[in-house]
Structure 1
């Protein structure tokens, strides 16, 4: 994983940590890993090679636009080549993700030149969920998306925001991007079959905005997925206001292509980007979910370490645990420091309240936003709740010691946040 951080000695690993660090792949997963070896051998992760391949895939388009690109791409490639050890399938996935990002940027710029009216569309009063990871943000976001009067972006559209071929041409039903994403998620299930116990990805339901913020490198996704220290330092030091403006252009484009105006968005990363977020979306309603951060960090470490087998031969659970604790602390500190004094635009939702009465939480959000929860929307949301009871796919077990974490230390570091929002301690994780 990180070249500079060796795996802990076997004696320092719990049974679960050992299973995460030395993954046993399914037969299908092993076959996918082996099949990637020949392709990975010829892939070069440099800005020049990635751009050249993107130009080829985009049919000769060459204008990547003025948004941040050259500096972050160079730093990211340096991190990928020098700081981490990707296995063959990981290298193929990273290459294709970056080329896909660049290809889409080329196509966005070409579309905006042809149809400048896209960038005149209003993006008004979005509802944006900004809670910390593993605090119920996904549940709440998907629940809100079931209001027919709201616009959210399903996962297939987030990954491939522009249609195949001419974006203005009529699209088949079902959209080829949806069909393709279902196949991708089926393949993912062969490599990380337990992922759905921790965070179920669904092709036709929304996920995090990080997939739409990625095009101008205003996304936490690279740090989250790949553990790239040099790039992480660049990301933390950079002003992402222009990246958020690019994100707004992407939303305008999705409206122009598939309709909708009143957005429901979500990403934990917004907690440390409140200034650019509110600069670009000054009339947004921000919904912050709150949960005892200690178990949230441990759960996130479990999810991230397990998902790491998509990229690495040996994910390091202790290194991931330390990273997740640092990232969450960073998000929460910035979220407290940068939260404006005007609290009217914020709605605070406790995780315990969301689990106990999800529709009651929705009504609070709608009241703050000046919206009316229609009978149709309420019925659709209740049907989703009934079909998505907690533990539907089984349990997700995790413990602090699996990731080299100490609960008492986490509480000392993060009590500033828990006390600020009167968050109850999760008694399952006393310490």
Structure 2
């Protein structure tokens, strides 16, 4: 659908969640079968806009919706959440094509890449304390564009409801990956607007046909929208002159060449962990995420699929990061070093980026660690059909922060 643009509808300040994005179907009628055309029509109705931009997103949305219906084994709550995610993405896409991209200078970002469960959240949140680094917060990623008539307070309240609902409906997932409306979060949310998101395809839902298709796609268009959304975020909440964005998401692992084309000169922090340990922890994350959305979760299938996806992702990452044109922009961080001394690791990364880490910053890092003790996280290796792994590294730090 790529109709002519119609005037945007201003949204009442107290009606953001009702008019722009549902909240996991709470207080609404049961959600029927997901239908891509019906979702587009609903997004048009909510925003008063009709231009979705280039039609390339259409096959991705159609395939994802079909996979959600035929493969994901959605529970009623899972179907409502999937509908909310897709509608939010469609509304954001409409606003992106209704408003000009702000002329904000974006320095080459710092991007944390690696498998899920390699310590990227821990390192990301430490680096976010650096005054020269700007990490997008959850509320910004859920609503990168501010529709007319909507206040920042409305966007924050919407994100707080999102977090509360996550904690209520999926306490295991919230414990494994704790978050907050104003906490730094994964920019994978920005990949939804082109409906090409490996987190949706591999972690959040059981959609193997979509995941297989996505692995073969060029995500340049998706990353172009990713960059445009970051420009809107920076225009709304400017970063200090010369500062860099610090980004992270496991979705980048499988598509690094496209990310690098759209964000030329990006610096990469490559997180490494023993593969068996990482796969076991990933399976725990995937199991928790899918139990939130389905009443028929197969742990053995998760173990098999995530083992295959992990090895494919690592092969792609290795090919990218060892390319001579990229290698000098990469810094490797080992999981064992990070959990043994997160402050020293954050300082090493800062030094490599040419950023100082003074005493005040180091005190903020220590304070962050003291306020965020390590959550318990049991790797479901046996349940997922995985062999036993070796001993885990001793650490007081939050290994469970993916």
- TM-score, with structure 1 as normaliser: 0.79
Contact 2:143 2:155 in 1 (8 A): yes
Contact 1:36 1:92 in 2 (8 A): no
- From the superposition, tell whether residues 36 and 292 of structure 1 become closer, same or farther in structure 2 (CA, over 3 Å): farther
String of CA shifts for 1:250-308, please: whole Å, max 9, x gaps: 11111111111510100122222121121122211100111111121111111211222
Distance in 1, matches of 2:214 and 2:344, equals 37
Contact 2:186 2:248 in 1 (8 A): yes
Bigger radius of gyration, 1 or 2? Answer: 1
Aligned to 1:128, the other structure's residue is in SS state strand
Distance in 2, matches of 1:33 and 1:163, equals 21
1:338 matched to which residue of 2?
320
String of CA shifts for 1:370-405, please: whole Å, max 9, x gaps: 2222444333222112212323xxx21224211112
Contact 1:72 1:234 in 2 (8 A): no
Distance in 1, matches of 2:33 and 2:365, equals 46
2:246 matched to which residue of 1?
264
Contact 1:67 1:246 in 2 (8 A): no
String of CA shifts for 1:175-214, please: whole Å, max 9, x gaps: 2222222222222222222223311122211121111122
Residue 289 (structure 1) aligned with residue 289 (structure 2): no
2:17 matched to which residue of 1?
none
Distance in 2, matches of 1:178 and 1:38, equals 25
Contact 1:126 1:263 in 2 (8 A): yes
1:57 matched to which residue of 2?
46
Show the 5 A alignment for 1:2-401: 38-40=29-31, 43-58=32-47, 60-66=48-54, 68-112=56-100, 116=101, 118=102, 120-166=103-149, 171=151, 175-223=153-201, 224-260=203-239, 261-339=243-321, 340-341=323-324, 342-391=326-375, 395-401=376-382
String of CA shifts for 1:81-130, please: whole Å, max 9, x gaps: 22232111111111111011001110111112xxx5x1x32211311100
The answer for unaligned runs of 5 or more in structure 2 is 1-22, 394-402
Higher helix share: 1
Cα offset for 1:218? Answer: 3.4
Cα offset for 1:336? Answer: 1.0
Cα offset for 1:352? Answer: 1.1
Distance in 2, matches of 1:35 and 1:100, equals 15
- From the superposition, tell whether residues 177 and 37 of structure 1 become closer, same or farther in structure 2 (CA, over 3 Å): closer
Cα offset for 1:328? Answer: 1.2
Distance in 1, matches of 2:147 and 2:76, equals 27
Q: Over aligned residue pairs, what C-alpha RMSD do you find?
A: 2.3
1:29 matched to which residue of 2?
none
String of CA shifts for 1:338-397, please: whole Å, max 9, x gaps: 222242211111111111221211222122212222444333222112212323xxx212
The answer for unaligned runs of 5 or more in structure 1 is 1-31, 409-425
- TM-score, with structure 2 as normaliser: 0.85
- From the superposition, tell whether residues 148 and 92 of structure 1 become closer, same or farther in structure 2 (CA, over 3 Å): same
Distance in 2, matches of 1:197 and 1:238, equals 33
Q: How many residue pairs are counted as aligned between the two chains?
A: 365
Aligned to 1:129, the other structure's residue is in SS state strand
String of CA shifts for 1:306-355, please: whole Å, max 9, x gaps: 22222111211111111221221111111112222242211111111111
